[in-house]
Amino acid sequence: MTTDDPEIIKTLREEERLGRLHSHTSEEQKAPISEEDQNDPLESIFTILRHRLEDDVKTIDLGDPSEKYRIIFENSAIAIMLTDENERIVHWNKATEQLLGMSREDLMMKPVKFLYPQEEWKKIRSENIRQKGIHHHLETKMIRKDSNVLDVDISLSVLKDHIGNVIGSIGIVKDISTNKQMEKAARASGEVFKQLYEKAPVPYHTLSPDGTITNVNEKWSKTFGYSKEEVIGNPIFYYIHSDEQQVAESAFKEKINSKKPYTDGHERTYITKNGEARVFVINDFLSMNESGVVTSIQSTMEDITERKKIEEELRKAHYWLEKKVQERTVELSKQNTLLKKKINEYKRTVGELHIELEKLQKSQKKTEQQNTKLKKLDHIKSNFLNITSHELRTSMATIKGYVEILLMKSLGPINYEQKQGLDVILKNTNRLDQLIQDILDVSRLESGTMKFIPEQTNVEKLIEDAKGTMQTAADNRQIKITKEIDQELPELNIDQERIKQAIINLLNNAIMFSPDGSTVSIRVNKEPDDVLFEIQDFGRGIPKNKQKKIFDIFHQVESGIDRTFGDIGLGLIISRGIVLAHGGKIWIESENDKGNIFRFTLPIKPTQDRDGKFKEMDIF
């Protein structure tokens, strides 16, 4: 025993040596220590802690018991503190310093009450723990050295000597700040979900397992013309077209029995309050209890009535066009047969060959005239696209400007529903503007008129700019964008904006088809002659038989999924054209259920006569 030991350590050692030390429950359990260990100031503490920690270490063999409890005390992930009879801190473990952000000098002999906000200390005192002897799982707050306040769970045990005098206490402290934050977030999430349900831009309804309506959102009521009170309690089949009711009921029962959490969209015709028949695509989500019993069905509805009308018109036009093509094919086939016959006849004599040659020359001239006409038509098409896009953009700029003025309430106040509507208009205006730009880019790629302005470019900064552009879209779906960039990358002589456009298109594609909460990775590495770019997602893989067509214009792997996200297949063809124009290559690797990796290369050595080679390429 040294003169520098805190008084409680001296008292604990002496009491423990005599076998008289006990905590609030240790009257029947003595914890004597040997005299050869009495000079170690930690031995008494470990003896006291032994009975609290014994149950957790029965399967751990660390040799000497004192050493075992020393290791547990020092390396415990939970903070443990020891105070004397005056409630001053005299010993603690590493976890305590980490939890409170304090050093030995900060903690030694510090009155424990200064670790708590004043109101929290009053609450602890009101528990009369010294009289009770013990208190488990007291939730309170503690103050770190940096003044931040933590939510903690504390278990306290009072220490007494052999005659019952309080000589200190032991506190075990667990940080529960994360749990508290999660509880708060869960409460907020419930309110957000309710608002999303009610204010969703598409109709929602909730059904019981027998098909009875238990709730509908505002869009549902507006679409069908009924109030909530009018429909809640009625079977959903009342509102389905009579020709489809029987099939709908059978399909619903089969769906409940299958207990699949989600069923793919199916078309169904409904009748509104005013008697109008409208076609919807229905997606059902089943909720089940722990026993696997279906408790409710959440259904979203997409109104495709107008689309069905357009599809019917397109079907008729397609049928007519096919008929005309077949007629013309037959006619051309007959003409071709006749031409071959004549050629064989003309070969009989030189004179006939001259006649045929003259015909071929005439045909060639006609072809040249047709090519000239086609070039003029192509020029007219380009002018039409430029003029049309200019006029459309001018109109959209006006619409966008007025929408932004209305959103800023410069023309007067707007309510919540109006603001939602204006946000939808603004979003779709921006989307239409981007679509026009994509169409123009495709036209320029097709005609070989897209201009490229090469400059020395830092690849890492280029990637960061593209990542920043798409960060908001990723955040909206809790998707994390990571990047791994080779630190020895050379600068590339490329059109910086066009390559960034290609990367953004690929990032947008990856985010669009990734599940919420997943990751999209960007990797860039130096190859012997090229720089390799990789963009990987973990969404649904693209089948091998469709990977070669993924860069075809307007191609979509699964139209139903693509339509959900509003994509018409221009981004990938534009990216391909830009990469090929820079002398690079672009391809995709994909496995089912493991996502997709889009890869493209750019040559380290600048491409000579980029514009000339680009005009000679067949981008499509």
Residue 590 has a pLDDT of: 84
Tell me the CA distances in angstroms from 18 to 6, 79, 233, one per residue in order: 19, 29, 77
Average pLDDT over residues 591-596: 77
Task: Tell me which residue has tokens 């080679």.
Answer: 613
Distance (Å, rounded) from C-alpha 485 to C-alpha 461? 10
Q: Please report, rounded to a whole number, the percentage of residues in the chain having pLDDT higher than 90.
A: 35
Residue 265 has a pLDDT of: 81
Strand ranges (E), 134-242: 134-143, 149-160, 166-175, 204-207, 213-216
3-state helix, strand, coil in the chain (%, to 5): 50, 20, 30
pLDDT level of residue 385 (50, 70, 90 thresholds): low
Q: Bigger pLDDT: 367 or 563? A: 367
CB 41 within 8 Å of CB 66 = no
CB 315 within 8 Å of CB 291 = no
- Reading the block at residue 4, the tokens are 């520098």
Beta-carbon contacts of residue 502 (< 8 Å; ≥ 6 apart)? 574, 575, 578, 579, 600
Q: 564 pLDDT exceeds 60?
A: no
Strand order across the 519-526 sheet: 480-485, 519-526, 530-537, 595-603, 585-591
pLDDT level of residue 609 (50, 70, 90 thresholds): low
Q: 52 pLDDT exceeds 70?
A: no
CB 166 within 8 Å of CB 147 = no
Q: Bigger pLDDT: 434 or 59? A: 434
- Reading the block at residue 245, the tokens are 């009711």
Distance (Å, rounded) from C-alpha 620 to C-alpha 617? 9
Q: 32 pLDDT exceeds 50?
A: no
Q: 35 pLDDT exceeds 70?
A: no
CB 457 within 8 Å of CB 495 = no
Residue 550 has a pLDDT of: 77
Averaged pLDDT score across all residues of the chain: 80
Q: Bigger pLDDT: 385 or 406? A: 406
Rounded (5°) CA angle 568-510-546: 60
Rounded (5°) CA angle 557-558-559: 115
User: Which of 399-408, 500-509, 515-524 has the lowest average pLDDT?
Assistant: 399-408
- Residues listed for the chain: 620
Buried b (16+ CB within 10 A) or exposed e, 421-455: ebeebbeebeeebeebebbbbbbbbbebebebeee
Average pLDDT over residues 326-351: 83
- Reading the block at residue 546, the tokens are 């469709």
CB atoms within 10 A of CB 99: 21
pLDDT level of residue 31 (50, 70, 90 thresholds): very low
Average pLDDT over residues 582-603: 88
Distance (Å, rounded) from C-alpha 489 to C-alpha 457? 11
CB atoms within 10 A of CB 240: 20
- Reading the block at residue 391, the tokens are 């006029």
CB 88 within 8 Å of CB 180 = no
CB 206 within 8 Å of CB 214 = yes
CB 239 within 8 Å of CB 205 = no
Q: 602 pLDDT exceeds 50?
A: yes
Q: Please report, rounded to a whole number, the percentage of residues in the chain having pLDDT higher than 70.
A: 80
Strands 519-526 and 480-485: parallel
Report the DSSP beta bridge partners of residue 536.
Answer: 521, 597
> What pLDDT, in 10s, does the model give residues 7-30?
545 554 555 555 544 444 434 333
| Closest to 596 measured CA to CA, from 529, 491, 499, 520 | 520
User: Which of 53-57, 178-182, 284-288 has the lowest average pLDDT?
Assistant: 53-57
Beta-carbon contacts of residue 15 (< 8 Å; ≥ 6 apart)? 21, 44, 161, 162, 167
Q: 46 pLDDT exceeds 70?
A: no
